Structure 1
Amino acid sequence: MKRSTANKLNMYESVHAVLTDHQSSWQTVPAFASAVTTFETKLNLLRARLVEQLGATTGVSMEKNLRTEDLRKRMLVMQNALFLLGRASNELQLQERNHLSKSDLIHMKLNEFAARCTELKGDLTTYGTQLAAYGITQQAIDELIPLLSGIDELNNSTRKAIIKRKSITKAIADLEQELNELLRVELDRLILVFRESEPPFYQSFESARITINYGGGGTRPQGTDPLSP
């Protein structure tokens, strides 16, 4: 969650707490009651979207990290064997393709890593039967081939999760805008009705409307005071 969103959420929650505490003051004013209902609906939607945002990429990212870490370890063993085979047979291109370190694999971009998986799969298909002398069993090769083939599916899952998160982030921004407008245009005006008749309610609401920037100061959003010029 962005810091700005967290700051706004704290303000929304403070306003909601004040409205709940002083329900007896406003529930008989239809316009105010209607605005509160809308505010609560949008706040609940914002809470739900924030939960979705948190989980949108977490599970996919964890799975991707676990699978790619295991894949890199297996790839490194195969690459070393293929490099030594290329060196022994004087096949320079085979050596060149398989000289990468674990660090090289870690720092590859997704498309580069996928291309490397395809390349290694080709080398194993061509030279796999010659790797027994380097301690590589056919079973190890057979286990690795499907993992190399599955990297595109894993990358697609990651991309889809990122796209979904972007969509949720856009929905959060829209809800923030709607909540800000509802507060500024309706509730900030309607609360003036209670300034004289219900001063504790009015003062609590005004205090709740301050957005506190943790790490900075507290400000009321510009233009929210209907009495300001």
Structure 2
Amino acid sequence: MFYGVKGTCKKYQSTWTTNALFAATYNLWAAKIPLIEQNRDAQTIETTGVTTDKKGKRAVMTEKTLFMSNRLQSFGNTTGNAEILESVQYPASYLNKARDTDVIGICNAVLSRAVANATALTAYGVTAAMITDLQASITAYSATLAKPKNAKAQTKTATENLTKLFKEAEDLLVKRMDLDIELFKVSKPDFYSQYKTSRIIISTGGKATALLGNVTAAENGEPLKNVTFTFAPESNGMLKSASAVAVDTMVKKSAEKGNFRIPSMPEGTYTVTVKKVGYKPQVVTVNVANGETTNLKIEMEKN
């Protein structure tokens, strides 16, 4: 609808440009559109790549740590060093399930033992390069920890900005331009008529819109099933204008791979409550635009 209004006003610019009142309001309103577009693009930022990179670096670090732990255990058994044995016996399942900060602590502990016994470990197949590689893998994984959260924070901020910008733009239309267009009803009937037409939101019954969701565990990126998503429409200008569409609260649950899909959804801004037993609940905001597919990606932290 915004693009329709903008196109009409551009077409008849020579008609209203000398009217200081209408021109001032239009310029304020038109300035909101590029800001909406920028935040729309930021809202749909792809965080999957960031999470995949994090998982890959964790796998490399874990593999190198398990190898080093194996060599240290062999060394400890051969020399009868109980202290080393007790400090490096971590099964793969334990490392895979450990929280981010915990797994880094474990890997650093193994690394410390390897550094302290580097000379002796040469006979057990451990080279200086292997110890250096383990250190590098820990550093590389540690550097990824903040990236998914940063991407998520960027998406959240963009969504909050969109809610504010849509309201500001709609207020300018409803409270000023929709009123001031009456100045042209008699003198410029074509402009008046086309403006009124562009302000009508054609209901698609939600068929042209859809939302795709995905939810994963923050600690390891694994998909989470049976996560409940409750979508409550916000009372902003967008939904009020689309009054022809009945907008009700919707509830969806994630499937085996953490995915869910809403094939039909009226456009507007929604408050989304995300819940799963054993995890911290979240509340986010998402904007659904007519004719576009919106992606919602959530990472949940354990209680």
* TM class, shorter-length: 0.5 to 0.7
| Of 102, 120, 129, the match for 1:112 | 102
- Size of the aligned set, in residue pairs, is 212
Evaluate the alpha carbon distance shift between residue 179 and residue 130 of structure 1 in structure 2; reply closer, same or farther with a 3 A threshold: farther
Cα displacement string for residues 121-179 of structure 1 (whole angstroms, at most 9, x for unaligned residues)? 22222344443344322211123224424654443555555545544443333323322
| Of 28, 31, 46, the match for 1:41 | 31
Quote the residue 2:90 is aligned against: 99
Quote the residue 1:222 is aligned against: 240
TM-score for the superposition, normalised by structure 2: 0.53
Quote the residue 2:197 is aligned against: 204
Contact 2:62 2:107 in 1 (8 A): no
Question: What residue ranges of structure 2 are gaps of 5+ in the alignment?
Answer: 212-236, 244-303
Contact 1:56 1:164 in 2 (8 A): no
Aligned pair 1:141/2:131, yes or no?
yes
Evaluate the alpha carbon distance shift between residue 220 and residue 180 of structure 1 in structure 2; reply closer, same or farther with a 3 A threshold: closer
TM-score for the superposition, normalised by structure 1: 0.66
Quote the residue 1:71 is aligned against: 61
Evaluate the alpha carbon distance shift between residue 188 and residue 146 of structure 1 in structure 2; reply closer, same or farther with a 3 A threshold: same
Contact 2:9 2:195 in 1 (8 A): no
What's the secondary structure of 2:114's corresponding residue? Answer: helix
Partner Cα distance (1:108, 1:212) in 2: 46
Quote the residue 1:132 is aligned against: 122
RMSD: 4.0
Quote the residue 1:3 is aligned against: none
Contact 2:69 2:90 in 1 (8 A): yes
Contact 1:81 1:134 in 2 (8 A): yes
Partner Cα distance (1:203, 1:195) in 2: 10
Aligned pair 1:181/2:171, yes or no?
yes
Contact 2:42 2:158 in 1 (8 A): yes
Contact 2:76 2:82 in 1 (8 A): yes
**Which has the larger share of strand?**
2
Deviation at 1:205, TM superposition (A): 1.5
Evaluate the alpha carbon distance shift between residue 44 and residue 77 of structure 1 in structure 2; reply closer, same or farther with a 3 A threshold: same
What's the secondary structure of 1:207's corresponding residue? Answer: coil
Alignment of 1:2-41 (within 5 A): 11-41=1-31
Cα displacement string for residues 174-204 of structure 1 (whole angstroms, at most 9, x for unaligned residues)? 3233223223322333345556723641343
Contact 1:60 1:158 in 2 (8 A): yes
Cα displacement string for residues 59-99 of structure 1 (whole angstroms, at most 9, x for unaligned residues)? 76565455434323322322333344445547387367443
Residue type of the alignment partner of 2:32: K
Q: Which moved more, 1:39-48 or 1:67-76?
A: 67-76
Residue type of the alignment partner of 2:82: E
Partner Cα distance (2:202, 2:107) in 1: 55
User: Which structure carries more relative contact order (alpha carbon 8 Å, separation 6+)?
Assistant: 1
Residue type of the alignment partner of 1:178: E
Contact 2:64 2:134 in 1 (8 A): yes
Deviation at 1:224, TM superposition (A): 8.6
Contact 1:84 1:95 in 2 (8 A): no
Q: Which moved more, 1:43-52 or 1:88-97?
A: 88-97
Deviation at 1:44, TM superposition (A): 0.9
Residue type of the alignment partner of 2:128: Q
**Which has the larger share of helix?**
1
Partner Cα distance (2:202, 2:28) in 1: 17
What's the secondary structure of 2:239's corresponding residue? Answer: coil
Q: Which moved more, 1:84-93 or 1:142-151?
A: 84-93
